Amino acid sequence: MSEITLTVNEHRFDYVSEIKPERSDNGIIEALTPQQKYRDANSSFIHRYGWGPFCRFSIPTQWIGKSGVYVLCSCNEIMYIGETQDLGTRFNQGYGTISPRNCFDGGQETNCRINTHIRDEVVAGNSVSLFYRETENRAELESELVEHINPPWNREPGENSQAINELHEDTTGYQGKYMPLSEYLQTVDKNQIELSFSEIEEVLGFSLPKSAHKFDAWWSNGSKPHSKAWLEAGWKVTDYSFSNQVVRFNQIQQ
């Protein structure tokens, strides 16, 4: 075992490994979008952390079955503290491999969130290291350390982020950047409407993101800000075509 250790609030943690996301043949970190593989994708809502992109990684199998508290560090800063009954399974089958189902409501939001944080950190050129302390009082120790350290990945994303602000809007109505689309749909006096991508962009006053032209998940009736724009206006997406660049909306029957 490595002699590298980390001391957190007088508790010693042993070094496990560096988290190294898998890369393509040309050295680029993978950008995985498993949402599209979920069989019920078009009838389920993607949760707020389920969009990715994600990466794939694993830690040495010798850590399977280890119970205790773990710490993720980057740039000499503690980024996340968690507890687990099985460290190897938590990282190799949880954080390190995001299943299509976990991207949707009812899935493991934390797995998606931590995977995305790790990928972003490594893409930025930083290394992420994992430390572990075996203990029977893992829940108590985790609570103590999180309260004392308040690591950034244990918190909800900052309120200054526009995307997160939109996710936490006042529930009386949608108020985000896609509000022009919401307002437009509220003026439609029929039960169904087809809009081209360019027509939607004209309504919005800006271009749709590249993901709207490539990924089925973008058009799911989920919890992301843009989908809240049509859902809270009383509409849902029932069909779309990337080749024809057309979206069909139907009014939600009350």
pLDDT digits (tens, 9 = 90+) for 194-238: 999 999 999 888 888 888 888 887 898 876 778 888 998 999 999
The 10s digit of each residue's pLDDT in 28-47 is: 998 998 887 877 766 678 88
Per-residue confidence band for 158, with pLDDT thresholds at 50, 70 and 90:
very low
Q: What is the pTM of this model?
A: 0.64
Q: Is the pLDDT of residue 174 over 60?
A: no
Element (H, E) at 146: helix 138-149
**What mean pLDDT is reported for the chain?**
87
Cα dist from 196 to 94, 212, 228, 236, whole Å: 39, 12, 19, 15
